[in-house]
Amino acid sequence: MVSFSGANLHAGENPPVLGRVQLPINVRSNPVSVNGSRSSTPATVGNYQAETSETVEPRLIHKWSHTHSILCVLPYAKQELLFCGTQDAKILVFDLQTYGLKTVISTERQDDAASVLCMAMAENEQLLFAAGSDSLVRVYDVTKSEFPCTHVIYSSVDIGDVFSLAYSSSLGTLFLGAQNASILWCDLSPNSASSGSEIKYERLPHVRYDRFFDSKGPGGSSNIPPQTKKSHSCLDSVRLVETKSDDIVRFAHNGFIYVMEVFDCHSPTAPHFVNNYASTYQSVLISGGGDGSIKVWGVTCSPRITLTELQTLENTASILAMTIHESYVYVGLSNSCVNVWDLVTNQLVRSFHFCQNNEPTGDFQEQYPGQCDEILSLQLHNNCIFKASTKSGLVKFTLRSNPAPANSAKDASKDSIVMSLEDELYNSAFNTSSASVLAMGKFSSPSGSSFLVSAGHKGLCLWDITNAGSNPENKSRPTKYTHGYTNSDLLTSLEGFTSFKTISQNPTLYLEDSRACAQFLSKLLVNLGASENKLIPVADGNPIVYACFRANAPSVSTDKVPRVLWYAHYDVVDASSSDDWSTDPFTLTAKDGNLFARGVSDNKGPALAAIYAVAELIQTKQLTCDIVFVLEGEEETGSVGFQEAITENKSIIGDVDWIMLSNSYWMDDEIPCLNYGLRGLINASLSVSSSKPDRHSGVDGGVSREPTMDLVQLLGQLRGPQNKINIDNFYDDCLPLMESEIRTYERIERIAAEKDIPNSDVPSLIAKWREPSLTIHKIEVSGPNNNTVIPQTAKASISLRIVPNQNLETIKKQLVSSLETAFKNLETENKLKIDIFHEAEPWLGDPTNVAYKLLYNKIKENWGPTVPDPLFIREGGSIPSIRFLEKSFSAPAVQVPCGQASDNAHLKNEKLRILNLYKLRAILFDTFKELGDSHSISI
């Protein structure tokens, strides 16, 4: 919202941003096709230029060669070792200090050349797990210089190739993803009951009898190859471990299981999404398969390891690569797409397509017609995606990217992504006849440098990617979450809160920031004592943060406890240095008793004041009512998806007795206020068009009715000569002006005159607060916009401000009917089109109810006798969510402004006086401390 002296404009009334890119953010969805066009120069969105990776190219440090392809790589950063699994059944071990080949580990089946397809490591870097095409998993002791094989794990079931491994150090369990679509696991903990003494070598997959391949041929002779009859002395010192017959999920996917990762739910380094499952499960396993699905499994270990399928996220093609960063899972698909899923809300949030309709594009299409570039490995670093694929090799793209300029309405509807193709020198490191990059690994050195390992056709490269890309937002993001309840803790949290660029109008640029902010809030609320917490997904929007604090005061009755819903929003409007900010808009700056930052007043500061007031009451056991926080991330774009999401989750929120918010301002900088009324809003677009094209006035002027003239006449009929809105029955439901209301306005007029607040006399207050109004915002015409053209089309944008007791649906119908009737009376051959593209209901609170009276008293007590008594005010703007929440929960709403009129919300140098922030917290502390006890009082 924008605050001016004596007038407030609420951002919630803004219509949805027409240029806002529609990302594929769905509550649960398949990917939406994306046009992966590329641009050599960054596009500009709003006042921001796209943030692209720095021009510093990744530096090639070293190259190694091998006789066969390298299929998987695994860096051990602490031990400065690099393990590489090869096509010819070897594990190459390189020293990352000298770049020399330290040793070569050969499998026991060297004669059969069982390829090493995947590897995994223990968290402490003491064990190496390797598996491949012989159905075996070998465990190596990395702490010893010769890297001895200590265990060989196998299954009595024919599982085929092992494509993926994931080891849980906390469970001591290894998970296997197999060719037969099964997930198996093996307990390797010291207390495991597995024993090698009872295992027979004949049961190993490559030795045991196969009814098909080892059956007698036409001559009655056995097909068992002679090498299987050899001595097994090479395995005598190795412990053989057979996976238990019950330790398997058969058909976990409808395809090969190519990728897996496991997370300990109680690890301090675990990503945020595991909090969704931490109360029930010890670990979470993520798997991806050839069926295109990402599956989330809950892992329990009492009395034995079991897997429970929790979520399934569907993609359009096989998943061949996966990496998880924060709470996002990035998957590389066989159709040359990269999809990004939010594992907290289980939504698809980005989809990067490098093929159109499953056909390659650009240079790749020319070189490999009719083929798609399968993505085999993914790594993330500094807002960049490193993509390894079968044909185009290794390419780095900026993760944060812009929509491509649309050339038509059809193009504008596509989710276009502009990406910068960089570092073509990657491909030159490999044989040009086969540019495949099959695997990647990333690690950081003790000095803090970052490195990428890329492996493929007979080649292996080490790259320094320390300066590749940029990650400016993480430099200012909070790294710790306060558990304290002091005002100093409040400021620390506000510093972190305002550092997130939660600009909802530009989701393509700031989607990650907005979702990271939602997770920040979620974790903060839990740390401060919330008993319930959830991120509610919003289709094509940022999630709603929900949290509940339960009443805990000893005085709370065993009967129904009153419940307050506190509404706020964490998104902000755009800001940039070009706006001449005196400080960085996303770095909280304290100066002259004020806090400066984008969103500090609208609405992050007031939201945290309410949160900390409740948190302190919880800590001191003085909370007399349940407090439910609902913080949305799309208020500045017209609350996209808010109503649908709240309606679907009403059972989670529960019954509500009061709705409260602080999304408004004082009339000036000195007198506290309570807001009890807002006007409603109808935004409409009127278009008059001719079947004839743009014409020349010297040739066709006067021949036929002109669209612009028709539109002007139509608009002129919307108002009467006394400035009244000329719509039939429009004023019928307007409430009469009461004597008590006039006295309220007269008091405001007297104070405003003393403070020299403009437009605050009684007639002006009535006109802008409680009377309807109609505004013509702009008129546009088609054609070259010169003085000789008769435009084919003329458009106008209008708005109607309606007042409490006027019915929104009725007024919309009256508006449309009045316009259509007036246009018909023009008897013109032109066509009229009416589009109502945004609306908000009016709201009128009851300033005599318990909550308002309690807030009024607490404002007086906390501000003291030197500050004038609070003013009861109304505003001419609109907040769509207030009336919606009132109707949804059958509860009255109360608004307590926090900021001053000079706060500059939406403008440069947005600020919030520190005193106002602290006072709001104190006022709400006292209010919530008593509201539950006074709930039964009748006024």
CA torsion 280-283-288-289 (nearest 10°) is -80
Terminal CA-CA length for the chain:
33
Q: Are 25 and 348 in contact (CB under 8 A)?
A: yes
E-strand ranges in 265-412 read: 283-289, 293-300, 306-314, 319-325, 328-333, 337-342, 347-353, 355-356, 359-360, 375-381, 384-389, 393-398
Question: CA–CA separation, 290 vs 293, rounded Å?
Answer: 8
Q: Are 386 and 452 in contact (CB under 8 A)?
A: yes
Please, what sign has the CA dihedral across residues 639, 643, 649, 655? positive
Burial class (CB in 10 A: 0-12, 13-18, 19+), 539: middle
Q: At what angle do helices 914-931 and 605-619 cross, to 10 degrees?
A: 40
- The two structure tokens encoding residue 732: 């019928």
Question: CA–CA separation, 448 vs 669, rounded Å?
Answer: 49
Taking alpha carbons only, the member of 685, 683, 682, 681 closest to residue 796 is 685
**Residue 297: CB partners within 8 Å, gap ≥ 6?**
183, 249, 284, 285, 286, 287, 307, 308, 309, 310
Taking alpha carbons only, the member of 691, 770, 777, 695 closest to residue 737 is 770
Which of 51, 247, 415, 635 is flagged as catalytic?
635
Q: Are 8 and 912 in contact (CB under 8 A)?
A: no
Q: What string of DSSP letters covers 307-321?
A: EEEEEEEE-SS-EEE
272: phi then psi, degrees, rounded to nearest 5: -60, -30
* DSSP symbol at 74: E
Question: CA–CA separation, 608 vs 616, rounded Å?
Answer: 12
Cis peptide before 603 (omega within 30 of 0): yes
* DSSP symbol at 719: B
CA distance to 185, 758, 917, 929, per residue, from 922 (Å): 55, 31, 9, 11
Q: What string of DSSP letters covers 376-393?
A: EEEEEETTEEEEEETTTE
- The secondary structure of 157-210, three-state, reads CCCCCEEEEEEECCCCEEEEEECCCCEEEEECCCCCCCCCCCCCHHHCCCCCCC
Taking alpha carbons only, the member of 817, 786, 625 closest to residue 718 is 817
Name the pairing type of β-strands 793-802 and 773-781.
Answer: antiparallel
Q: Are 561 and 627 in contact (CB under 8 A)?
A: no
* DSSP symbol at 556: -
For tokens 């530096």, the residue is 59
Q: Are 798 and 718 in contact (CB under 8 A)?
A: yes
Burial class (CB in 10 A: 0-12, 13-18, 19+), 477: middle
Which of 571, 634, 657, 910 is flagged as catalytic?
571
Vertex 657 angle, CA 654 and 658, to 5°: 115
Question: CA–CA separation, 25 vs 19, rounded Å?
Answer: 16
635 is annotated as an active-site residue = yes
Enumerate the active-site residues: 571, 635
